[in-house]
Structure 1
Amino acid sequence: MSSSPDHFSLRAIALPAFGPSLLFGFGEGAIFPILALSARDLGASSAAAGFIVALVGVGSLLANLPAAALATRYGERRAMVGAALFSLLGLALCLLARSPWLLGMGVFMVGLASAVFLLARQTYLVEAVPLHMRARAMSTLGGTMRIGMFAGPFASAGVIHLTGLSGAYWVSALAMLGAGLVSLSVPDLVPKASADKAAIPKISMLSMARMHAPVLLTLGIGTALVAALRACRQIVIPLWADHIGLDPATTATIYGLMGAVDMLLFYPAGRVMDLYGRLWVALPCMLIMSCCMMAIPLTGGWISLLLVCMILGIGNGIGSGIVMTIGADASPAAGRTVFLGIWRQITDIGGSGGPLLISGLTAAASLATGIATVGSLGLLAAWIFWRWLPRGRPRA
């Protein structure tokens, strides 16, 4: 890394910054499509299989604050190596599982490890990257995770064809092993604040939450709504496609094309945020996603649904890294890892609560009502960002 921030290049830190997250995302993507099938093969009901899949998100939600404590005490690199080993143990349980509850335990462990990886890389980038390139770094981090999640299922599909469902877990294990080796072999860059760390007092999570309550209760809630909208998107599209009579292959094609558009926009979005400010991306991201979600119940065939989903993918793609970038901007130099752990906890609550909300609304009213109501959350998030997100380029 150049000593001058003006000559900083993300390429110089690409391997330590993005390599572990790319491989971890690849590993998660490799097993996501077959978790429910594995549970069903072990005798789980459809409801139990859905719960087992949800344990990845539950594990990440519960691990955010412990992950912050681990990274603060042992450092980001050692925390990631430990998380890779922990995820390998979880995958071993999945491979050896002879009952649904043992499979669920392994899936839960993978979810716990994912929180450590994301928090460690976010903290690292805040320290290592100068402010004028922070959004590009965060959006690239989010983009590499999406690329890994997108490519993982394709890699596991070929192995599954030869070996059965167990092949997906072996593909995931190789990716997790690679993530651990990259984390172990590449030394951490010296963070900008390292010289002052000895003078910085330790701050408890409760004290941190009290000190930064205004930003956590405004922008934090805004980003939680972003996470809720994104989580619901993954559920809404297959449910509505089934509702209008589309076959699974068509649904998968629509979802895949949306994901491809999504992945193409992460770096341009980060550049816009760095040059013009976070609001230039956060506001259109939420307005586009909200309008598209509310438009889904108006579609009646695969062409109209594909069109709406492609625009939805554009909206989500330009928002790549926005949650991490806003959190990084708001984080203090003293106790940054603790703050980011709290920030991820809030956003993950939104990501977990969104699907529960749409499930309840669908049961109480209808699927169309649930989709439209959840879509309106994006308008609320847009208003929060308009009201509290700083205008213009970020300042130190």
Structure 2
Amino acid sequence: MPPSSDSFSLARIALPAFGPSLLFGLGEGAIYPILALSARELGASSAQAGLIVALIGIGSMLANLPAAALANRYGERRAMIGAAAFSLAALVLCLIAHTPWVLGLGVLMIGLASSVFLLARQTYLIEAVPVHMRARAMSTLGGTMRVGLFAGPFMAAGFIHWMGLQGAYWAAILAFLGAGILAFSVPDLEPRDRTAHRNAPPLSLAGLARAHAGVFLTLGVATALVSAIRACRQIVIPLWADQIGLDATQTALIYGIMGGVDMLLFYPAGRIMDLRGRHWVALPCMLIMGASLIAIPWTAGFAGLLAVSMVLGVGNGIGSGIVMTIGADASPPADRTRFLGIWRLITDLGGGGGPLLMSAVTAVLSLASGITAIGAIGFVAAWMFWRWLPRKTASP
């Protein structure tokens, strides 16, 4: 059983709770920078290489509902162990690939596994952590993934120097293996609320979606807009840097500093959400990110873009865990895992749709117009949170 709320400490469960997420993020971060290069070495065109990189996100989106079914049937612990093992098989496939499409299959498998792993990890933490500390747990989960993604390329660099391009995959193998071993050490939990609903007849997936349609169409759409803005911020910085004539070194420096600012804020953000309410983070996050994106087309040099990017990093950092926290608050205890599978599908659709919207506006008008359109979405999301996000600290 989960510990009582009066004696609970996040530090006590830090290694089994957040260690697997850190290692999984480390593995993904290790391979992200070299996927396109690997595809090109195998004869892929630039467009094909871009598609292969995108297969991680596509796989994650496709697996959300199956991942919920797996975690619901076999439990969070076994789902995480299986996802780690599946990822190791995928990395072996990437290592032995002789064509771009075999590499692509391995990359797709990693995306599928990541959805299973992250959904199981979120469900586990919702059950293990008392409600009054939920936002801190969710923001720390998101923060550890970001730290892993940030540090992964640096770990891979040492392996690449020693073993060549394939060294990155060996670095990821070590990280995923560690994630699986830690997941194996996590005890199974009997959820606090599941026993009370054990005799309730289960809803079909469609029935579950209909029963919670109001939440999905309001807060679900709002968090999808958050995902859209976050996905676009990864694209906006290098594109606008190129537009104003900055070189690759300057662009990488801006991007790295923005990521560093982002990572520093995840725990304070969670604490504010727990103590003051979700509004105190959701609204500033979207307003700051929206205003920062709108300001980017008005920058004309390194200093200006760096300053705006740092503010953008602050906005994204204070929103660490907000999508998972709101989803956790809204999820029904009797069918939490499948609800979160639908929730992740909606937010992933936002993450995929944001760059498509920006590309369409850019193609029709200009890059500045595309960036401004994405920034405006931040204000729409802020209004939706103001309108529909409960004022209570938590809404389990």
With normalisation by structure 1, the TM-score equals: 0.98
Structure 1, gaps ≥5 residues long: none
Name the structure 2 match of 1:237. 237
Give matches, 1:1-396, under 5 Å.
3-196=3-196, 198-396=198-396
Residue 395 of structure 1 and its aligned partner are, at CA, apart by 4.7
Change (3 A) 1:331 1:395: closer
Q: CA RMSD in A?
A: 1.2
Find the aligned partners of 1:201 and 1:56 in 2 and give their Cα distance: 35
- Aligned partner letter, 1:50: G
Give the distance between the partners of 1:208 and 1:197, measured in 2 at CA: 15
Gaps of 5+ in 2: none
| Equivalent position SS for 2:334 | coil
Distance 1:186 1:109 in 2: 24
> Whole-Å Cα distance in 2 between the matches of residues 129 and 356 of structure 1?
37
Contact persistence 1:201–1:334 (CA under 8 A): no
Shift of 1:390: 1.0
**Residue type at the aligned position of 1:338:** R
Mapped to 2, the partners of 1:261 and 1:389 lie a distance apart of 27
Please state how far the C-alpha of 1:3 moved relative to its aligned partner: 4.1
Corresponding residue SS for 1:335: helix
C-alpha separation in 2, matches of 1:336 and 1:308: 39
Distance 1:213 1:391 in 2: 20
AA in 2 matched with 1:305: L
Distance of 1:106 and 1:160 partners within structure 2 = 19
How far the C-alpha of 1:193 sits from its partner, in A, is: 2.7
What TM-score results when the alignment is normalised by the length of structure 2?
0.98
Q: 1:2 Cα deviation (Å)? A: 7.6
Q: What do the CA deviations read for 1:174-218 (whole angstroms, capped 9, x no partner)?
A: 101111111112322332135336324322211110000001000
Structure 1 counterpart SS, 2:333: coil
One-letter identity of the residue aligned with 2:131: L
Give the letter aligned to residue 239 of structure 2: L
CA distance in 2, matches of 1:97, 1:252: 30
Tell which deviates more after alignment, 195-204 or 360-369: 195-204
Question: What letter corresponds to residue 67 of structure 1 in structure 2?
Answer: A
CA contact (8 A) 1:128 1:190 kept: no
Whole-Å separation in 1 of the counterparts to 2:221 and 2:286:
14
Q: Distance in 2 between matches of 1:392 and 1:228?
A: 26
* Structure 2: distance between partners of 1:201 and 1:170: 46
Which letter does structure 2 place at the counterpart of 1:170? W
SS of 1:8's partner is: coil
79 and 267 in structure 1: CA distance in 2 versus 1, 3 angstrom threshold: same
Q: Quote how far apart the aligned CAs of 1:7 are.
A: 2.2
List per-residue Cα deviations over 1:96-140 (Å, max 9, x = no partner).
Answer: 111111111110000000101110011111111111100000000
Alpha carbons 2:2, 2:191 under 8 Å: kept? no
C-alpha distance in 1, partners of 2:376/2:2?
A: 45
SS at 2:261's partner residue? helix
Q: Is the 8 A contact 1:16 1:188 kept in 2?
A: no
Q: How far apart are the structure 2 equivalents of 1:243 and 1:167?
A: 34
Contact 1:83 1:113 in 2 (8 A): yes
On the 8 A contact 2:90/2:109 being kept in 1, the answer is yes
> How many matched pairs?
396
Question: 1:289 & 1:3 partners in 2: Cα distance?
Answer: 37
Take 2:315 and 2:347, find their aligned partners in 1: how far apart are those partners?
Answer: 18
Residues 175, 14 of structure 1: CA spacing in aligned structure 2 closer, same or farther, 3 A cutoff?
same
Q: Deviations over 1:227-261 (max 9, x none)?
A: 00000000111111111111111111111111111
* Alpha-carbon offset, residue 361 of structure 1: 1.5
Query: 1:154, 1:26 → 2: CA distance?
Result: 10
One-letter amino acid of the counterpart of residue 20, structure 2: P
1:136–1:269 CA contact under 8 A, matched in 2: yes
Higher mean C-alpha displacement, 11-20 vs 154-163: 11-20
Look up the equivalent residue of 1:42 and give its one-letter code. Answer: L
For the residue of structure 2 that corresponds to 1:217, the secondary structure is: helix
Deviates more, 1:74-83 or 1:197-206: 197-206
Counterpart-to-counterpart distance in 1, 2:65 and 2:382: 27
Deviations along 1:280-312, whole A, 9 cap, x unmatched? 000000000000011111111111000000000
Is the 2:2–2:127 contact (alpha carbons within 8 Å) kept by the matching residues of 1?
A: no
Contact 1:55 1:107 (C-alpha < 8 Å) held by counterparts: yes
What per-residue deviation string (whole Å, max 9, x for no partner) do you get for residues 330-389 of structure 1?
Answer: 001111101000000000000011111111221111111111111111110000000001
Give the distance between the partners of 2:185 and 2:325, measured in 1 at CA. Answer: 27
SS at match of 1:43: coil
Worse-matched range after superposition: 356-365 or 68-77: 356-365
